[in-house]
Structure 1
Amino acid sequence: MNLPDDELNDATADAAVHEARLWRDKGWTAQVFKNEDDDGWAVGMTRDGESEPALVGPWTMGRDKKNPKPLDVNAFNTLVKTASEVIRRHEQHLQATLHKQVVVNLGDRRITVCLDIEPDDENPQASLSALDEGDECLARVSVSPGFKLDRASATAWIEADFERPGRRAD
């Protein structure tokens, strides 16, 4: 859902604005707008510099049951906190999908195997690395970004003396 951008893109984006349907402060913009899907109102929270809102949700009707409740400092602060949490959870999820690790115990050795993916629309890359208990790098190889890291694949890589997965011996 796109928010009306006439007010969001004006030259005063850096100045604080505290209006009934538009608040801009603390690096965020809250804008109340008519919900296209029903008769109600919605609010969007956009972080400065971003083109899409981090959070869009329903907004309370005012006492007249026609117009939205005006924004105020408490509502704005709550929206900032909620939108910040949404972004934080999204970043944590992205980090979890781009960096995975498993610990393998082989005999008296404890090795941590990490898969790090560098996303890129045209040329994504990934590397597989092995660290000993002192975080000393034992090996690092390039792998496909689609490489599935689990305990079995990590163990197989270690047992193959860190030979790049998918490479066939002649």
Structure 2
Amino acid sequence: MTDHDSDSPIYEARLWKDDGWTARVIKNEDDDGWAVAMFKDGQSEPALVGPWTMGRDKKNPKPLDANAFSTLVKTASEVLRRHEQQLHATLNKSVVITAGDAALTVTLTIIPDEYEAYGILKAIDDQGNELVSKRVEPNFALTRASAIAWVNKAITE
């Protein structure tokens, strides 16, 4: 591999770096074929690893080119976007309940922490005002029933 300025674009047969992404064609460990790994700048793990086409000699990989790199960037970006959406959905849940004659939104936000993850449960009125909040275990199951029971208990305390 050649030494390069870390911010300079690279356009080599097995290595392309541009626009915040690096594509690296690698030997597939599982067979005789090739794979391509896409890395977002600053990340040590690839966002995407997929099979790569053999060249005409059926021995070496097809060289990277502008069209392939563009497609790989789009695909890897979509994988990251979906992962972020899934993580957000896992860490943030909400239900709408009725307490008295008011509609309340009860939210559960999980705060991931390597040593002591926890959740924050909040009841919010329809004007966006936080009425009550409580720290809960990260495995708290937010359901309509648990939200109603928690709000009813919090109001009477």
- TM-score where L is the length of structure 2: 0.94
How far apart, CA to CA, are the structure 2 residues paired with 1:163 and 1:149? Answer: 20
Q: Residues 13 and 24 of structure 1 are in contact (CA less than 8 Å); yes or no, is this contact kept in structure 2?
A: no
Structure with more helix by fraction: 2
Gaps of 5+ in 2: none
- RMSD between aligned alpha carbons? 1.7
Amino acid at match of 2:76: A
Gaps of 5+ in 1: 1-5, 165-170
How far apart, CA to CA, are the structure 2 residues paired with 1:113 and 1:70? Answer: 53
Matches of residues 1-170 of structure 1 in structure 2 within 5 Å?
12-162=5-155
Aligned residue pairs: how many? 157
| Percent of residue pairs bearing the same amino acid type | 60
Q: What secondary structure does 2:106 align onto?
A: strand
Q: What secondary structure does 1:157 align onto?
A: helix
How far apart, CA to CA, are the structure 2 residues paired with 1:11 and 1:156? Answer: 61
- TM-score where L is the length of structure 1: 0.87
Deviates more, 1:21-30 or 1:122-131: 122-131
Per-residue deviation at 1:11? Answer: 5.7
How far apart, CA to CA, are the structure 2 residues paired with 1:55 and 1:14? Answer: 21
How far apart, CA to CA, are the structure 2 residues paired with 1:161 and 1:48? Answer: 46
How far apart, CA to CA, are the structure 1 residues paired with 2:141 and 2:155? Answer: 16
